[in-house]
Amino acid sequence: MNVLRNAYIGQEVERIEDFRFLTGRGTFVDDYEPAGVLHAAILRSSVAHGRIVSIDSATALEIPGVHAIVTAADIGEQIPTIPIRLAPIAGLEKYLQPVIAREKVRYVGEPIAVILAESRAIAEDAANAIDLSIDSFDPIPNWRTAEIDKTLLFEQNRTNVAARYVVGFGDTDAVFANSEYSRREFFRAHRHTAVPMETRGVVAEWDAAKERLTVNGATKVTFFNRRALAAMLGMAESAIDLIELDVGGGFGVRGEFYPEDFLIPFAARKFKRPIKWIEDRLEHFQAANHSREIDCELEIACRRDGTILALRGRIFADMGAYTRTNSGVVPAKAAQFLHGPYRIPAVKIEVSAFMTSKTPVGTYRAPGRFESNFFRERLIDMAARDLGIDPIDMRRRNLIAATEMPYSIGKLVPYENETAYDTGDYQAALDECLRAFGWEEKKKMFQSRKIGGRYHGLGIACFVESGGAGPRENVRMTLEANGHVTIAVGSSVLGQGLETVFAQIAADAMSLPLESFHVLHGSTTIVDEGFGTYHSRAVVMGGSAILDGAKNLLLSIQNAAGLQFNCRPEDVTIQDGTVLGPDGHTSTFAALAAAVGPVSATGTFANNKRTYSYGAHAAHVSVDPRTGHVAVLDYVAVEDIGRAINPALVHGQTFGAVVQGLGGVFLDHLIYDDNAQLLNASLADYLLPTATDFPNIRGVTMQLHLSPSNPLGAKGAGEGGMVAVAATAANAVAAALAEFNVQPNELPLSPPSVWGLIQKSNTLRI
Amino acid sequence: MSARKYVKLNVNGKPYEANIEARTTLADCLRHNFKLTGTHVGCEHGVCGACTVLVDGLAVRSCLIFAVQAEGMIITTVEGLSSGNTLSPLQAAFRKHHALQCGFCTAGILTTTHALLSNEPDADANRVREVLSGNICRCTGYVQIIDAVLDARAAYKQGPESGR
CB contact under 8 Å between B103 and A689, yes or no, is: no
Measure Cα distances from A236 to A227, A232, B25 in Å: 9, 10, 42
Find residues 43-82 of chain A whose CB sits inside 8 Å of chain B.
Answer: 63-64
**Which 8-state DSSP code applies to residue A65?**
T
Residue A762, pLDDT score: 67
The arithmetic mean of pLDDT across residues A179-203, rounded, is: 98
What is the C-alpha to C-alpha distance for residues A594 and A590, in angstroms, rounded to an integer? 6
Q: Domain A294-468+609-765 adopts which CATH fold?
A: Aldehyde Oxidoreductase; domain 4 (3.30.365)
CB contact under 8 Å between A697 and B141, yes or no, is: yes
- Chain A residue with Cα closest to B40: A198
pTM for the structure as a whole: 0.97
Reported as a single tens digit per residue, the pLDDT across A381-405 is 999 999 999 999 999 999 999 999 9
Residue A525, pLDDT score: 83
Residue A4 predicted with pLDDT over 70:
no
What ipTM did this prediction achieve? 0.97
Supply the Cα-derived Rg of chain A in whole angstroms. Answer: 27
The arithmetic mean of pLDDT across residues B91-105, rounded, is: 98
Report chain B residues whose CB lies below 8 A from the CB of A697.
Answer: 141, 143
Class of domain A35-137+199-247+254-287: alpha beta
Listed in order, the ranges of chain A carrying CATH 3.30.365.10 are: 18-27+469-606, 294-468+609-765
As a whole number of angstroms, the longest Cα–Cα distance in chain A is 97
Reported as a single tens digit per residue, the pLDDT across A644-682 is 999 999 999 999 999 999 999 999 999 999 999 999 999
- Mean per-residue pLDDT over chain A, rounded: 96
Q: Which residues are CB-neighbours of A453 under 8 A, at least 6 positions away?
A: A624, A625, A626
Partner A contacted by B62 (CB < 8 A): no
Partner B contacted by A688 (CB < 8 A): yes
Identify which of B47, B107, B133 has the shortest CB distance to residue A691: B133
- Chain B residue with Cα closest to A245: B102
Domain B89-156 has CATH 3.30.1780.10: no
The CATH number for B4-79, chosen from 3.10.290.10, 3.40.50.410, 3.40.50.300, 3.10.20.30, is 3.10.20.30
Residue A446, pLDDT score: 97
Reported as a single tens digit per residue, the pLDDT across B130-160 is 999 999 999 999 999 999 999 999 999 987 5
CB contact under 8 Å between B139 and A249, yes or no, is: yes
Q: In terms of C-beta density within 10 A (0-12 exposed, 13-18 middle, 19 or more buried), how is residue A152 classed?
A: middle
Partner B contacted by A198 (CB < 8 A): yes
Reported as a single tens digit per residue, the pLDDT across A464-512 is 999 988 899 999 999 999 999 999 998 888 888 999 999 999 999 999 9
Listed in order, the ranges of chain A carrying CATH 3.90.1170.50 are: 35-137+199-247+254-287
Report chain B residues whose CB lies below 8 A from the CB of A247.
Answer: 102
What is the C-alpha to C-alpha distance for residues A596 and A385, in angstroms, rounded to an integer? 73
Residue A2 predicted with pLDDT over 60:
no
Sequence ranges of the domains in chain B: 4-79, 89-156
β-partners of residue A621 are: A457, A632
Reported as a single tens digit per residue, the pLDDT across A56-93 is 999 999 999 999 999 999 999 999 999 999 999 999 99
The CATH number for A18-27+469-606, chosen from 3.40.720.10, 3.40.190.80, 3.40.50.2300, 3.30.365.10, is 3.30.365.10
Reported as a single tens digit per residue, the pLDDT across A541-561 is 999 999 999 999 999 999 999
Q: Do β-strands A201-207 and A420-421 pair in parallel, antiparallel, or remain unpaired?
A: unpaired
Tell me if B130 sits within 8 A of A692, measured CB to CB: yes
Query: What's the pLDDT band for A5 if we cut at 50, 70, 90?
Result: low
Residue A763, pLDDT score: 55
Tell me if B44 sits within 8 A of B63, measured CB to CB: yes
| Mutant choice from B104, B127, B147 vs A, greatest count of A C-beta within 10 A | B104
Partner A contacted by B79 (CB < 8 A): yes
Identify the CA nearest to A198 among candidates B107, B163, B124.
Answer: B107
What is the C-alpha to C-alpha distance for residues B147 and B157, in angstroms, rounded to an integer? 17
